[in-house]
Chain A
Amino acid sequence: MVICFRSSDSVAFSTSSLQHERSFSRRRWRRWLTSAPHLLSGRQPSKGFQIKNSNGYPLNAASLQDGLAENLSAEESVEKRSKDGSKQNGSTVSITIVGASGDLAKKKIFPALFALFYEDCLPKHFTVFGYARSKLTDEELRNMISKTLTCRIDKRENCNDKMEQFLQRCFYQSGQYDSEENFVELDQKLREKEAGKLPNRLFYLSIPPNIFVDVVRCASHHASSPTGWTRVIVEKPFGRDSESSAELTRSLKQYLTEDQIFRIDHYLGKELVENLSVLRFSNLVFEPLWSRKYIRNVQLIFSENFGTEGRGGYFDSYGIIRDIMQNHLLQILALFAMETPVSLDAEDIRNEKVKVLRSMRTLKLDDVVVGQYKGHTKGGKSYPGYTDDPTVPKCSLTPTFAAAALFIDNARWDDVPFLMKAGKALHTRRAEIRVQFRHVPGNLYKRNFGTDLDKATNELVIRVQPDEAIYLKINNKIPGLSMRLDRSNLNLLYAARYPREIADAYERLLLDAIEGERRLFIRSDELDAAWALFTPVLKELEYKKIAPELYPYGSRGPVGSHYLAAKYNVRWGENS
C-alpha cells in the first residue's frame, strides 16, 4: 500500500484541476483581451510572475483585475514549468514559518510538517525556515521544535531517524517583521538551500493580524520566488467586520493575487468536514432527503470545556461570534447547504459556497443570544469567570457564548432554521453537525410515541470532534414480544472502523497549499459574504452594549439559547 494516501488518485485529481485552472485562466485571459486590449500594451503577460517584476510598484486596486489575469496565466506557465522541471532534477519547496517562536507554530505547524514528511507526502526537496524576531540559532530552533514533533501512534518505527532527517532540513532566520532588509537576508539563505532548483515558496503567517500586511509586503518584494510559485497562508482573524476585512484583503492584494492567498480555516481540514461532501454526493440515500421537504432544522454546535485561562487578550477584542461562528461554523454550514457543484474543483465548490452565503438572510439581533461565563464552584474547586482573567478588562461585554438562528432564502432551504451554538467554558468539548428530520407524516406508530411526534424524528449526527463518528438515529422496535419502539443508532464510529490515527487538519491544509489545491481555503468573495451576514449584528451588539447572559463555568450555557431555539420550534440535540 502506498503510504502517502494522496499519491494514487490525487494524480488524477490534481491533473484535472490543473487543466481546469488552465482553461479557466485562458477563458479569463481571452475575455480580458477582448474587453481591455489596451492594458496589454504595457506588459507581457508571460513574462514576470510577481507584479513587482512587471512595473516595480504595487498595483492599485483598479488594475487588480488585470494583475490577476496576468498572474493566472503566469502561474499557468509556472506550473507547467514546475511540472516539467520536477520530472528531471528539479524543483524544491521552501516553507517559511513567519512567527516560528509562537504557540501555533510549535504546537501545530511544525508537527504537521513533520507528519507530512514522515508520511512521505512532502516533495523530495524541501526546506523549512523559521522566521521570527528572537535571536535563535538553527540548533536552538531544532531543539525547540523537536519537543513537539510527535509520531503517529500506529507507527513509531524509524521515528527518531525520520525526526533527525526532518530537523536537518529546518533552519532559522531572525528578523523584524517589517524589515525589507531582513527579508532580503532570508531570500539569500533560501536561495542557498534551493541550490539552483526551481524554487517554490510557501509563507505561513503565524503572526498577529496587525503585521500581516508588513510581512506580506516585505516577503513579496524581497523573498518571493523569481521563477516558481509563491504562496502565503494566513490564519484568522481576517478583520473584525466587513470594512476591516475588506481593508485587509485590499492590502494583501497590493502585493499578492487572489491565487497566492491561502486563507486557512482549519475546520475545513477536519476529516468529517471533508467527508461531508462525500456523504452527500457519493451516496444515493442522503441527497433525496437534503432539503426543506425532509429536514426540519440543522444544528451546528461547537463547545469547549475550558475558558480563556489567562490568555483572553486576543479573544476579548473578537469574541466568540467572530472567533468561531463567522468562520468555522459558517463554513461548515455553507458546505452542508450548497447545491451540487459542477465538479470537485476548488473554484466550483467555492462558487457554490458563495451562493449559499449570498442567499442567506442577514443575521438580526432578535436571532442571536450572547452569553459570558461567570465563576463557578463545584466539588470544592472554583472555576474563574471570564472577567476574572487578568488579560480581560473587568467590564468586558465580550460574548464567550453565542447562539444564532440563520436562514437561507433559497428554494432548497427556505424556512429551515440553521441553528448555531458556540461557547467556551461549557460542560463538554465537542463540535458536531446535527440534522433533524421532520416527523413521519401520518405515522402509523404515533401511539407508540405519545403526543410529541417531534421527539421521535430521525436525526443524522456528524461528530467532528472528539471521537469522530457519523450516526443516524432511527426508530426501531425493541426486541421482544411487545411493540415498543426506541431510538437506536445506525452507527459509524471512526475509531472502530478506521484504526489509523486521523490526520490533523493542519497536515491536510499545508499539503493542499503546497499542491496548490484551493478547495479548503477561503476565497475573498466568500469572506466578504460571510462578513456581510454578521457585521450588522456585531455592530449592533457593540453599539447597544448588549450585556451577555451570564452562565456558570462548566454549565450548558445560557437559557436564552433554548428560548431562541424554541422560537423556531427547535430542540437542541441531546447533550448540547
Chain B
Amino acid sequence: MAFSSLKCPSSRFAFPPSPGPGSRRVAAASPSPSRPPLPRRFFSKRISSRSPRNRHWSVVSMHEAATVPLSPEKEIDLKVENGVASAISAEDNRDLAALSTSKKDSTVSITVVGASGDLAKKKIFPALFALYYEDCLPEHFTIFGYARSKMTDAELRNTVSRTLTCRIDKRENCSEKMDQFLRRCFYHSGQYDSEENFAELDKKLKEHEAGRLSNRLFYLSIPPNIFIDVVKCASKSASSANGWTRVIVEKPFGRDSESSAALTRGLKEYLVEDQIFRIDHYLGKELVENLSVLRFSNLVFEPLWSRQYIRNVQLIFSEDFGTEGRGGYFDNYGIIRDIMQNHLLQILALFAMETPVSLDAEDIRNEKVKVLRSMRPLQLENVVIGQYKSHTKGGTIYPAYLDDKTVPKDSLTPTFAAAALFIDNARWDGVPFLMKAGKALHTRRAEIRVQFRHVPGNLYKRSFGTDLDRATNELVIRVQPDEAIYLKINNKIPGLGMRLDRSNLNLHYAARYSKEIPDAYERLLLDAIEGERRLFIRSDELDAAWALFTPLLKELEEKKIAPELYPYGSRGPVGAHYLASKYGVRWGDLSSEH
C-alpha cells in the first residue's frame, strides 16, 4: 500500500499543501497531482521572501558554529564586492519572478567541470541520463562538459554514450531517449583557472538558454586543489544573471580542520552557504535515506533508540579490492579521511540525532551538528589502523598496498581503520559507536548494526547457555549490496522441544521492491537542481566532523604509527577485535552467520 499514488518520482513533493501560513513546512508542498510538479524551491523561496526572518534565521543558525559570522549586512557587502553574491541575495526577487514567469520560461544548465574524468563518465552523466529518462529533469535543460582536453560535442557524446545505461526494468525507448539526451549535451574546452574560458562558456550557455530564466549548476568533478580557481572563474564569469547558481563539490573537503576551514573560506569568497552543495554520496543511498523514515515513522523503533536498550552501534564499510594501481590520491588521504570522517560519520549523525523539528534541510542538519558537537574527539587508543599486504590464494597473487606503483614504498597510510566513538549526550552516554572501514577485505559491504542489550531477567536463559550477549536482538540495515533491513529475534525452533534460535524478521528489498533502486548520484543531483539541501553537508557540520578526527589524524602522522598488516582478502587486522572487546563488543559482521 502506498500512501501516495503519484507516479513521477518528483512527486516526492506532492504532499497536500499545508495551510499553515509562512510555515517552513510549506516548502515541502507542491501542486496537486493533476498539475505538473513545480520545483519545490519556488514555493520555498516564495514563502521565505514573504517572511524574511525565516531566511535570516537559517543564515544565522548556519553561522553559529562557523568561523566567519555573516550578518545580513555582510551578505549585502558581499554582493557589492563581487558580482556573484548579488545574484544570490537577489534570489528572493528572482524567485518571485520565477513564479510569475511560467515554468516553461526557465531552464537549467548543468556544467560538469572535469567532464573527461572518471567520476563524470561513470556516475554523473549516467545519473543525469537516468533522471532524464525518468522525466525528473526540468523541461528545458542543457548539459555542458568542461575540461582541458580538446573535444567536439560529438566526441563528448560519443564518450558519454558508452556509459549511459537504462534502468533494468524499462528498456523501452532507451536508445531514443538516449539520442534525445545526447543532443542536449555539449562540450566546452578550457583551462580551470581561466576567466576568459569561463566567459566563453557563459556565452555558450546563454545561447542555449535562449533568453529563458537561467539557473546554473556546476558540478566540480576535479581535484580539490583547483576547486577555488574554478569557483572563482565560474562565479565571476559564468554565474547566472537572473536565476540561481549552485556548485556541487565532492570530497575531499580538506585533510584536516585547518585545510577544510581554508577551503570553506575560499569558497565563501565567491559563494554563499546556500550555493555550496557538498556531496556525500552515502547520504544519497536508499537505506541511509530510509534510516530517518524507519526511526520517525514507526512507533516500534523510537522507544528502543537509546542507551537504555542499545548496547552498541556498528558502522561497517568494506571493499573487497585494493587501490589497484590508482593509489595516488588515496595515499595522500587514507581510509579515515576517505570513508570514516565523512560517510560513516554522516550515517552515525543521522542515526543518533534527536528528532528534528521538521524534515526541512536546516532542521535536520541542525540536529546532525548537535550530535557531532556532543561527540568526544577521537583518542589514539580508540583507533586501530591497518594496511593490506600481499596474499597468495589458489595460485592467484593479490598485491600489497605498497606494491601499487602509485604508492610510496614506505607509505604508512592506513587502508583499514577501526574506531570507537562516543556521544556524550543524555541519549547515548556510554554507548560505543564502532566504525570499521577497510579496503582489500574478504567482502564488499556497507551496513549499520544495532546490537541491543540482553533481556533483563531472561526466563529462557538456560536455553542460551552462559553467554547472554550472544542472544541479544540485533537490527541490521544493509546499505549495500543487496539492500535489506532485518531484525534478529530469538525464536523457538518449531518442534517438540524448547530450543531457541535466532531468526530474522526480514525485509529484503529485492524481494519486496521490484524496481531498481536509483543510484545515489541521481538523488543528489535532483536535490541540487531542486534546491533540497537535506542531503548535503553544511559548513558547520563539516567543521564539527573535522574537529573530531583532526587531533587523531595529526597524532597518527606525527608519531608515524605503523599500521597493522593484514593479508589481502582477509577479515582485517586482529587489532579491531581487541578494540571492540575493550568495550565489550563483538563485531556483528564476523559472527558465524556469514
Using a CB–CB distance below 8 Å, which chain A residues touch chain B?
Answer: 4-10, 12-13, 16, 116, 119, 121, 271, 274-275, 277-279, 281-285, 287-289, 294, 340-341, 343-344, 437-440, 442-445, 447-450, 456-458, 460, 468, 470-472, 474-492, 494, 497-498, 500, 502-503, 507-508, 511
What 12 additional pairs, Cβ within 8 angstroms, besides A279-B491, A341-B459?
A275-B492, A282-B458, A284-B454, A443-B296, A444-B292, A447-B25, A450-B3, A468-B494, A477-B289, A484-B2, A491-B506, A492-B491
Judging by beta carbons under 8 Å apart, are A285 and B462 in contact?
Answer: no
Which one of A282, A439, A491, A507 lies within 8 Å of B459 (CB-CB)? Answer: A282
Which one of A278, A489, A491, A511 lies within 8 Å of B500 (CB-CB)? Answer: A278
Judging by beta carbons under 8 Å apart, are A498 and B296 in contact?
Answer: no
Interface CB pairs A-B, < 8 A, 27? A6-B498, A9-B462, A10-B497, A10-B498, A119-B496, A281-B455, A281-B458, A281-B460, A284-B455, A288-B303, A442-B355, A443-B297, A447-B16, A449-B3, A449-B297, A460-B300, A476-B485, A477-B290, A479-B483, A479-B518, A481-B134, A484-B2, A484-B4, A490-B485, A490-B505, A492-B505, A502-B494
Report chain B residues within 8 Å CB of A341. Answer: 459
CB-CB contacts of B520-551 with A at 8 A, as 1s and 0s?
00110010000000000000000000000000
Report chain A residues within 8 Å CB of B8. Answer: 482
| B463 located at the interface, meaning its Cβ lies under 8 Å from any Cβ of chain A in the complex | yes
Q: Which residue of A lies closest to B489 (CB)?
A: A283
| B80 located at the interface, meaning its Cβ lies under 8 Å from any Cβ of chain A in the complex | no
| B12 located at the interface, meaning its Cβ lies under 8 Å from any Cβ of chain A in the complex | yes
Which one of A482, A488, A494 lies within 8 Å of B9 (CB-CB)? Answer: A482
Judging by beta carbons under 8 Å apart, are A294 and B299 in contact?
Answer: yes
Which one of B309, B460, B515 lies within 8 Å of A282 (CB-CB)? Answer: B460
Judging by beta carbons under 8 Å apart, are B18 and A447 in contact?
Answer: yes
* Shortest Cβ-Cβ A-B pairs, 3 listed: A5-B497, A482-B12, A481-B9
Judging by beta carbons under 8 Å apart, are A287 and B293 in contact?
Answer: no
A278 to B507, CA, bound (A): 22
* Chain B proximity of A521: nearest CB distance (Å): 16
Judging by beta carbons under 8 Å apart, are A511 and B463 in contact?
Answer: no
Report chain B residues within 8 Å CB of A474. Answer: 294, 298, 300, 507
Judging by beta carbons under 8 Å apart, are A482 and B10 in contact?
Answer: yes
A278 to B461, CA, bound (A): 11
Judging by beta carbons under 8 Å apart, are A285 and B459 in contact?
Answer: no
Which one of A439, A478, A481 lies within 8 Å of B10 (CB-CB)? Answer: A481
A119 to B10, CA, bound (A): 59
* Chain B proximity of A462: nearest CB distance (Å): 11
Judging by beta carbons under 8 Å apart, are A484 and B309 in contact?
Answer: no
* Chain B proximity of A271: nearest CB distance (Å): 5
CB-CB contacts of B456-500 with A at 8 A, as 1s and 0s?
011110111000000111010000000101110111111111111
A338 to B298, CA, bound (A): 25
* Chain A proximity of B590: nearest CB distance (Å): 22
* Chain A proximity of B7: nearest CB distance (Å): 9
Which one of B297, B457, B526 lies within 8 Å of A481 (CB-CB)? Answer: B526
A483 to B486, CA, bound (A): 21
| B136 located at the interface, meaning its Cβ lies under 8 Å from any Cβ of chain A in the complex | yes
Report chain B residues within 8 Å CB of A482. Answer: 4, 6, 8-12, 14
Q: Restricting to B274-303, which residues have a CB under 8 Å from any CB of A? A: 286, 289-290, 292-294, 296-300, 302-303
Q: Which residue of A lies closest to B463 (CB)?
A: A9
| B1 located at the interface, meaning its Cβ lies under 8 Å from any Cβ of chain A in the complex | yes
Report chain A residues within 8 Å CB of B25. Answer: 447
Question: Contacts A278-B490, A507-B496: A489 and B507 contacting too (C-beta < 8 A)?
Answer: yes
* Chain B proximity of A272: nearest CB distance (Å): 9
| B28 located at the interface, meaning its Cβ lies under 8 Å from any Cβ of chain A in the complex | yes
Which of A457, A481, A503 counts the most B-chain CB atoms under 10 A from its CB?
A481
* Chain B proximity of A10: nearest CB distance (Å): 6
Judging by beta carbons under 8 Å apart, are B507 and A490 in contact?
Answer: yes
Report chain B residues within 8 Å CB of A16. Answer: 462
Which one of A4, A444, A497 lies within 8 Å of B296 (CB-CB)? Answer: A444
* Chain A proximity of B435: nearest CB distance (Å): 24
| B15 located at the interface, meaning its Cβ lies under 8 Å from any Cβ of chain A in the complex | yes
Q: Which residue of B lies closest to A437 (CB)?
A: B299
A472 to B359, CA, bound (A): 25
Report chain A residues within 8 Å CB of B10. Answer: 481-482
Report chain A residues within 8 Å CB of B102. Answer: none
Report chain B residues within 8 Å CB of A7. Answer: 497
Judging by beta carbons under 8 Å apart, are A491 and B298 in contact?
Answer: no
Judging by beta carbons under 8 Å apart, are A475 and B293 in contact?
Answer: yes
Judging by beta carbons under 8 Å apart, are B489 and A285 in contact?
Answer: yes
Report chain A residues within 8 Å CB of B517. Answer: 479-480
Question: Contacts A472-B505, A479-B515: A288 and B309 contacting too (C-beta < 8 A)?
Answer: yes
Report chain A residues within 8 Å CB of B131. Answer: 481
Question: Contacts A9-B499, A283-B473, A294-B303: A477 and B293 contacting too (C-beta < 8 A)?
Answer: yes
Report chain A residues within 8 Å CB of B28. Answer: 447
Q: Which residue of B lies closest to A486 (CB)?
A: B2
Q: Which residue of B lies closest to A519 (CB)?
A: B498
Report chain B residues within 8 Å CB of A285. Answer: 300, 304, 309, 452, 473, 475, 487, 489
Judging by beta carbons under 8 Å apart, are A492 and B293 in contact?
Answer: no
A119 to B492, CA, bound (A): 18
A456 to B2, CA, bound (A): 10
A275 to B359, CA, bound (A): 39
Judging by beta carbons under 8 Å apart, are B504 and A475 in contact?
Answer: no
Which of A443, A457, A480 counts the most B-chain CB atoms under 10 A from its CB?
A480
| B509 located at the interface, meaning its Cβ lies under 8 Å from any Cβ of chain A in the complex | yes
Q: Which residue of B lies closest to A294 (CB)?
A: B299
A494 to B463, CA, bound (A): 20
* Chain A proximity of B225: nearest CB distance (Å): 33
CB-CB contacts of B297-330 with A at 8 A, as 1s and 0s?
1111011100001000000000000000000000
Q: Which residue of A lies closest to B309 (CB)?
A: A284
* Chain B proximity of A313: nearest CB distance (Å): 34
| B591 located at the interface, meaning its Cβ lies under 8 Å from any Cβ of chain A in the complex | no
Report chain A residues within 8 Å CB of B575. Answer: none
A246 to B132, CA, bound (A): 76
Which one of A121, A458, A490 lies within 8 Å of B506 (CB-CB)? Answer: A490
Judging by beta carbons under 8 Å apart, are B299 and A457 in contact?
Answer: yes
Q: Which residue of B lies closest to A116 (CB)?
A: B496
A16 to B509, CA, bound (A): 45
Report chain A residues within 8 Å CB of B286. Answer: 477, 479
Q: Restricting to B234-264, which residues have a CB under 8 Å from any CB of A? A: none
Report chain A residues within 8 Å CB of B304. Answer: 284-285, 288
Report chain B residues within 8 Å CB of A508. Answer: 496
A41 to B471, CA, bound (A): 53
| B356 located at the interface, meaning its Cβ lies under 8 Å from any Cβ of chain A in the complex | yes
A458 to B491, CA, bound (A): 20
Report chain A residues within 8 Å CB of B513. Answer: 478-479
A483 to B14, CA, bound (A): 9
Judging by beta carbons under 8 Å apart, are A481 and B522 in contact?
Answer: yes
A282 to B12, CA, bound (A): 40
A294 to B301, CA, bound (A): 11
| B512 located at the interface, meaning its Cβ lies under 8 Å from any Cβ of chain A in the complex | yes
Which one of B289, B300, B522 lies within 8 Å of A472 (CB-CB)? Answer: B300
| B453 located at the interface, meaning its Cβ lies under 8 Å from any Cβ of chain A in the complex | yes
Judging by beta carbons under 8 Å apart, are B458 and A500 in contact?
Answer: no
Which of A9, A474, A491 counts the most B-chain CB atoms under 10 A from its CB?
A474
Report chain B residues within 8 Å CB of A9. Answer: 462-463, 497-499
* Chain A proximity of B283: nearest CB distance (Å): 14
Report chain A residues within 8 Å CB of B486. Answer: 490
Which one of B356, B487, B518 lies within 8 Å of A480 (CB-CB)? Answer: B518
Judging by beta carbons under 8 Å apart, are B507 and A484 in contact?
Answer: no
* Chain B proximity of A188: nearest CB distance (Å): 33
Judging by beta carbons under 8 Å apart, are B15 and A448 in contact?
Answer: yes
Judging by beta carbons under 8 Å apart, are A500 and B494 in contact?
Answer: yes
Question: Contacts A278-B460, A443-B297: A476 and B507 contacting too (C-beta < 8 A)?
Answer: yes
* Chain B proximity of A295: nearest CB distance (Å): 9
Q: Which residue of B lies closest to A6 (CB)?
A: B497
Report chain A residues within 8 Å CB of B495. Answer: 5, 500, 502-503
A401 to B515, CA, bound (A): 42
